[in-house]
Amino acid sequence: MTQPSQPSYDLVIFGAASFVGKLIVDYVCRTAPDGMRIAVAGRNRRKLAALDAPYPMIVADAADADAMARLARSAKVVLTTVGPYNLHGRTLIRACAENGTDYVDLCGEVVFVHDSVVELDDIARDSGARIIHSAGFDSVPSDIAVFQLSRMVDELGEVEMVISDLNGGVSGGTVASMLDSYQAASSEISSPERRQAIRSPFALAPGESSDQRVVATGFRPWDAPFFMAGYNTRLVRRSAQLLDYGENFSYVEYQRIGGRIRTAGFALGLVLIAQLIRRKWGRAIMRRFLPKPGEGPSRAQREKGSFTVTTTDVDSGAAVRVRLDMDPGYEGAALMIVEAAYSLLDGAGAPGVGTPATLGEAYVERLRDAGMEITGP
């Protein structure tokens, strides 16, 4: 199941003509080392040809198993933005796992990553493939901050993350992934056992459990629920399983809004969105009025982007700060995923289905060199 010969490319960017794919290509054009063999891939030759990039093109459809196998065999690392991953990503990731091709995505979909861990971890370990999910705002800041804490504290206990100064736009691709992820985790899964596994806080860390009350987020006078906590906390628990953060480890995320009234209003807005997304008619309304796939914020809007993450081990008081003055879902995401791909090319990580944190110190240093502030050792 491993690659029979030397791949033609070091890095293939699949979905290169998507909204965020173009930003990724631009980042690679500016940062790739001399001599790196790079190709751009997607299903539309015309859109690929319109990219301002000096790279060969690979035309391939995500639903074509033979095309995805050829794509996997052509590369050392495949970076993919083609989502929703639950709908469009399964053929490619299996091809990478079976052919020993390293893989990195921007996925924040519980169903897709759960199935990847359960179905492909052993296959990837056998083939030597390193599969890295969620190497964007889902969930690098959360994951890397806790990893840094684990290097400062002998055994982690109760860990809290608070995100503040969050400014960023929403793309149609993000909306589509969010809506599909909810639908896939509910009505499309017929087995009660499977629904229970997907909804578990340990959905991405099979076999793990806790006697403690496990929550993803909550409401405090100055802190609202963080809308990405439901996924991020699950991903971090996968890292805890792989990197052994200790048997007393627990993790929760909040968003700092500022002021009791503003915090309460923000929390109420999240409740209303949650009620909409649970209903078929609500999802239809959101699809109608929110950005469509391929749409996203303007450059001027993205230039205002930033975020700050402060993650604290409550018992010891040790804290890690992660900050980036870029739009977290766009230029920031491009930085995070490309540096993860470069880390894979450098040999970071171990075979199997991993997380950004499993890329270790090498990835942290790459992020720092690229402009992300990360405190800690």
Cβ-in-10-Å burial (0-12, 13-18, 19+) of 369 comes to: exposed
How far apart (Å, rounded) are the C-alpha atoms in residues 144 and 138? 11
Average pLDDT of the residues in 200-214? 90
Express each pLDDT in 57-74 by its tens digit: 999 999 999 999 999 999
Residues 363 and 308: beta-carbon distance below 8 Å: no
Neighbours of 57 (CB within 10 A): 17
CATH number of the domain at 9-136+332-374, out of 3.40.225.10, 3.40.50.720, 3.30.2020.10, 3.40.50.11540? Answer: 3.40.50.720
Q: Kindly give, in sequence order, each residue whose CB lies less than 8 Å from that of residue 368, ignoring residues fewer than 6 positions away.
A: 374
Q: Kindly give, in sequence order, each residue whose CB lies less than 8 Å from that of residue 44, ignoring residues fewer than 6 positions away.
A: 17, 59
The region of weakest confidence among 80-89, 113-122, 157-166, 209-218 is: 209-218
Neighbours of 255 (CB within 10 A): 21
Average pLDDT of the residues in 288-304? 78
Residues 285 and 122: beta-carbon distance below 8 Å: no
CATH 3.40.50.720 occupies which residues in the chain?
9-136+332-374
How far apart (Å, rounded) are the C-alpha atoms in residues 189 and 180? 12
For residue 181, what pLDDT is reported? 64
**DSSP-based three-state secondary structure for 321:** strand
For residue 70, what pLDDT is reported? 97
The region of weakest confidence among 9-13, 155-159, 218-222 is: 218-222
For residue 98, what pLDDT is reported? 98
For residue 328, what pLDDT is reported? 93
Between 304 and 177, whose confidence is greater? 304
How far apart (Å, rounded) are the C-alpha atoms in residues 91 and 96? 9
Express each pLDDT in 135-190 by its tens digit: 999 899 999 999 999 999 999 999 999 999 998 866 556 666 666 666 666 555 55
**Which amino acid would we find at residue 15?**
G
Average pLDDT of the residues in 317-329? 96
DSSP track, 250-276? EEEEEEE--SHHHHHHHHHHHHHHHHH
How far apart (Å, rounded) are the C-alpha atoms in residues 100 and 131? 10
pTM score: 0.92
For residue 186, what pLDDT is reported? 59
Is the pLDDT reported for residue 285 higher than 90?
A: no
φ/ψ bin of 191: left (φ > 0), alpha (ψ from -120 to 50), beta (otherwise): beta
Q: Kindly give, in sequence order, each residue whose CB lies less than 8 Å from that of residue 40, ignoring residues fewer than 6 positions away.
A: 12, 13, 16, 17, 25, 48, 51, 53, 55, 56, 57, 58
Q: How confident is the model at residue 194 (pLDDT cuts 50, 70, 90)?
A: confident
Q: How confident is the model at residue 1 (pLDDT cuts 50, 70, 90)?
A: very low
Cβ-in-10-Å burial (0-12, 13-18, 19+) of 60 comes to: buried
Q: How confident is the model at residue 2 (pLDDT cuts 50, 70, 90)?
A: very low
Is the pLDDT reported for residue 4 higher than 70?
A: no
Express each pLDDT in 104-131 by its tens digit: 999 999 999 999 999 999 999 999 999 9
Average pLDDT of the residues in 198-205? 92
On average, the pLDDT of the chain sits at: 90
How far apart (Å, rounded) are the C-alpha atoms in residues 295 and 291? 6
Residues 313 and 149: beta-carbon distance below 8 Å: yes
Percent with pLDDT over 90 in the chain = 70
Residues 140 and 134: beta-carbon distance below 8 Å: yes
Between 284 and 43, whose confidence is greater? 43
Between 140 and 280, whose confidence is greater? 140
Q: How many contiguous H segments (helices) and E segments (strands) does the chain have?
A: 15, 13
Is the pLDDT reported for residue 340 higher than 50?
A: yes
Average pLDDT of the residues in 185-199? 69
Average pLDDT of the residues in 224-243? 95
For residue 178, what pLDDT is reported? 64
For residue 292, what pLDDT is reported? 67
Average pLDDT of the residues in 32-61? 96
How far apart (Å, rounded) are the C-alpha atoms in residues 132 and 336? 12
